[in-house]
Structure 1
Amino acid sequence: MHQNRYSQKKQSRKARSKWGTVIARYSKDGEIVAWQVRYPHPTESGKRVQRQFKPWQELEARKWLEEEKYLVDLQHKGILTWTHPTLRKREAMQEDDKTKRDKVKFCDYVNWWEKNYRLPNGEDVAGGTRRNLHVDIGHFMPFFENLLLTEITPMIIKEWYDAPHCEGPWAFRRSCMRLKAVLESATKAGLDGSASLLQFNPFIFHIPPAPRSSRIDIPPVTPHELRILAESMPTYTRLSVFFSTLAGGLRCGELCGLQIRDIDLDKQTLHVRHSVNRGKTDRGTVQYGKTKTESSVRNVHIPDAIMPMLRQHLCDYCDISTPDSPVFVPKRSKIMSQTTLERQFAKARIKANRPDLTFQGLRASHATLLMLQGGTLREVMNELGHVSEKVAVRYYQLTVAEHQSHIVDTLARDFIFESSR
């Protein structure tokens, strides 16, 4: 064994060159475990440059040494500036990464972005939201999908931006917001430390302003219309229009998500805790889920006038012994779907001669009627589960022409009366 190791070390010495060395490293058993290559540092006297290779890479080690000698010779002749192999490797990897980044297709990046889209708190979005996200992306994807991500410039975006958009102003506005968000995401470094795919966001244009909502011009429902709506609904869902108009302004999904445990008859309180959806893909069976926003979880007062109807409804259609059973019991499934309730309402509004009404319209009517009765803006926001005054004022306070005329007449009368005294 000692003779073998002596002969191996002797061969290793023969492997030394006048400029650098390729040295075999052995284990205790006399087996080669690595090849170590060394040569003098060309710019810092007394230091060495070295690299280690696997046991089976002797030829690669010798080849690397010859290549390094060639680069050092160029340095000495003033033809090329020598850089350390580690730095060269890092630069090569960065260049390779840049080449890969430059070849990323826009459609592939958008698909990745859509798949990983999350709420600001990191939670996954609801199925309906993800479906809307996909629709918004579909408005701009055909124009850009054959381009590389790095090929998208402000000029190309302007061509799309200025083109006709048959999807309508609301959809165009949303698609602009999505496109800007996608490109902004590409300017951020990856969580793994990888460099950004874009140096800057090429979407430099203004997001189109929100168009005037058609809901603003819809007058609130009248008592006569509400009565016809209720009479035109199936008896087992008739209570829904009263809840939406007179108790909390419940959304359609919130109505479908009501359970027996959510009703406190003694305190005349309705606990809004759930909505319904069809899962992450928005295509599954109806299930209980979170409300639209965190502020939508609220407790609302059940008016005295509705209590008799509510008690009768619970007696006729509900299993009050089971807390998690639904308040609005569907005919063929376990949980009432929004589609079913909205379809029933669509027929009822035609009979009431109010084709413009939706459950959202009843919700807006609730807010407006509360204000006309002297409710404050904060009380209306609490009732509807809103945190934004801007949204509450813009979309949920309808103008009642008769009331507006009345207050203007009253104002003028009082001023003229005072001025004549």
Structure 2
Amino acid sequence: MPRNRRPKKNQTARPRSAWGTVIPRFDENGGIIAWQVRYPNPLAPGKRVQRQFKPWQELDARTWLEEEKHLVDLHNKGIAEWKHPTQRKKDKLQEFREQEQRHILFRDYVAQWESNYKLPNGGEIAGGTRRNLKLDIRHFITDFESLRLSEITPLKIKAWYDKPHPEGQWAFRRSCMRFKAILESATKPGLDGTAPLLQFNPFIFPIPPAPRSSRIDVSPVTPRELMLLAEAMPEYTRLSVFLSTLVGGLRCGELCGLRVKDIDLDGQTLHVRHSVNRGSMDRGEIRYSRTKTESSIRNVHIPDALMSMIRQHLHDYCDMRLPDSPVFVPRRARIMSQTTLEEQFAKARVKAGRPDLTFQGLRASHATLLMLRGGTLREVMNELGHTSEKVAIRYYQLTVVEHQSQIVDRLAQEFMDE
């Protein structure tokens, strides 16, 4: 018999149970240091289930053995399935977690959902996207934040859905989409196998249709207006309006992300490789980041008419010795921010008599003017870095009334001449 199982002087060995055992464990001086309980595993013949108790827990050890025997008896009689004590402990912990999740407050669930929000490819979202996400959530969270997730019903959602929404139609539509997506995620099993928190999605109402975009009615910029815009911009960012209108329809963030090495003067090519933001949490200093989409990475032709202007800008405002230095050098920061460039443009467009224009409007002008001069839809999409024909047609091909009238007149005249 091993030393730590030998009864010491004045100690009596405990009798073995007919089914399991409660065995004392001794130290070198004969003192009990633990009680070890064992019994046969009913699911694995030849193996034993065991548990150890503290020296003062002999009664607890024997009570546990009797309780385990009862569970095994129920299993052998086909009344209840026996599970290993370790598995039972895991199941109990899992049940506790699920109960805790079922009582989670809506605001806490939304916070979890937002922190785990990813791009469809699993990548981190940009800072601007996270900012928009927070804005969308803000429009409905105050009405539901004190409720448990399970307390949100279609009736309560309808009260929010039907009330006035001063944030506007676009914001209301986006909020509905976010709200529905959040609740839908609660109807799915957890990644750890936990049961869904909701049996069905209580957001049963239709997503409002997309309102007509005001951008559709904006007319393309004219050559005279472009010159007035350029004259109203600070000299060190004047080139930006020409690039957005005549070279690739660059977005504001793409303009800010341009570096000296992105302009190939010999090959007359501009490489769009980056945008800018403040990081995934939309905090901190401006930094270079990925473009809006993968298709936004593109190479666009620099027209002959702009070559001298670009050369002059690079000579006057850029450090050509450093390929990574920015094309648009800010006055007080390392990298130009979209906010700064947009504020400059906002003042310039008023002076130019086109307060309706934005950098997005210049981008749409570029697409429209290319089409009017014979560019194909595929060429325009490549120029702007688009993959969706629907988006390209809806938002980036503006209607020019005079041109539309001219082609209708020309069509009719050709038929009448025949």
Superposed pair shares fold, TM > 0.5? yes
Q: Deviations over 1:1-49 (max 9, x none)?
A: 9899554799454364xx75542065897866542254998xx9x9999
Name the SS of the counterpart of 2:51 in structure 1: strand
Matches of residues 53-202 of structure 1 in structure 2 within 5 Å?
Answer: 53-56=52-55, 57-67=57-67, 84=82, 86=84, 92-93=92-93, 95-202=95-202
User: Which residue number in structure 1 is paired with residue 381 of structure 2?
Assistant: 381
| Unaligned runs of at least 5 residues, structure 1 | none
Query: Which deviates further from its counterpart, 173-182 or 57-66?
Result: 57-66
Aligned residues: percent identity?
65
Query: Which deviates further from its counterpart, 195-204 or 394-403?
Result: 195-204
Give how far 1:254 is off: 0.9
Give how far 1:275 is off: 1.0
Query: Which deviates further from its counterpart, 283-292 or 347-356?
Result: 283-292
Are the aligned partners of 2:329 and 2:335 in contact in 1 as well (CA < 8 Å)?
A: yes
User: Which residue number in structure 1 is paired with residue 15 of structure 2?
Assistant: 14
Are the aligned partners of 2:72 and 2:82 in contact in 1 as well (CA < 8 Å)?
A: no
Name the SS of the counterpart of 1:205 in structure 2: coil
Give how far 1:81 is off: 5.2
Are the aligned partners of 1:272 and 1:299 in contact in 2 as well (CA < 8 Å)?
A: yes
Supply the distance in 2 between the matched residues of 1:60 and 1:236 (Cα, whole angstroms): 82
Give how far 1:407 is off: 0.6
Name the SS of the counterpart of 1:236 in structure 2: helix
Are the aligned partners of 1:20 and 1:40 in contact in 2 as well (CA < 8 Å)?
A: no
Supply the distance in 2 between the matched residues of 1:304 and 1:36 (Cα, whole angstroms): 89
User: Which residue number in structure 1 is paired with residue 51 of structure 2?
Assistant: 52
User: Which residue number in structure 2 is paired with residue 341 of structure 1?
Assistant: 341
Q: Considering only aligned residues, what root-mean-square deviation do their CA atoms show, in Å?
A: 3.2
Matches of residues 250-269 of structure 1 in structure 2 within 5 Å?
Answer: 250-269=250-269
Matches of residues 196-275 of structure 1 in structure 2 within 5 Å?
Answer: 196-275=196-275
Name the SS of the counterpart of 2:196 in structure 1: coil
Give how far 1:306 is off: 0.9
Give how far 1:123 is off: 1.8
Are the aligned partners of 2:365 and 2:396 in contact in 1 as well (CA < 8 Å)?
A: yes
Supply the distance in 1 between the matched residues of 2:2 and 2:359 (Cα, whole angstroms): 93
Matches of residues 313-332 of structure 1 in structure 2 within 5 Å?
Answer: 313-332=313-332
Are the aligned partners of 1:220 and 1:365 in contact in 2 as well (CA < 8 Å)?
A: yes
With over 3 angstroms needed to count, the CA separation of the structure-2 counterparts of 1:95 and 1:287, relative to structure 1, is: closer
TM-score by length of structure 1 reads 0.87
Give how far 1:393 is off: 0.4
Q: Deviations over 1:264-296 (max 9, x none)?
A: 111111111111112233232121111111111
Supply the distance in 2 between the matched residues of 1:366 and 1:204 (Cα, whole angstroms): 41
Are the aligned partners of 1:349 and 1:357 in contact in 2 as well (CA < 8 Å)?
A: yes
User: Which residue number in structure 1 is paired with residue 36 of structure 2?
Assistant: 35
Matches of residues 399-418 of structure 1 in structure 2 within 5 Å?
Answer: 399-418=399-418
With over 3 angstroms needed to count, the CA separation of the structure-2 counterparts of 1:284 and 1:7, relative to structure 1, is: closer
Name the SS of the counterpart of 2:299 in structure 1: strand
Are the aligned partners of 1:12 and 1:23 in contact in 2 as well (CA < 8 Å)?
A: no
TM-score by length of structure 2 reads 0.88
Query: Which deviates further from its counterpart, 297-306 or 309-318?
Result: 309-318
Q: Deviations over 1:179-220 (max 9, x none)?
A: 122122222323333333223322222222211110000000
With over 3 angstroms needed to count, the CA separation of the structure-2 counterparts of 1:410 and 1:12, relative to structure 1, is: farther
Supply the distance in 1 between the matched residues of 2:364 and 2:3 (Cα, whole angstroms): 97
- Tell me the amino acid that sits aligned with residue 24 of structure 1: I
Query: Which deviates further from its counterpart, 216-225 or 315-324?
Result: 315-324
Query: Which deviates further from its counterpart, 270-279 or 397-406?
Result: 270-279
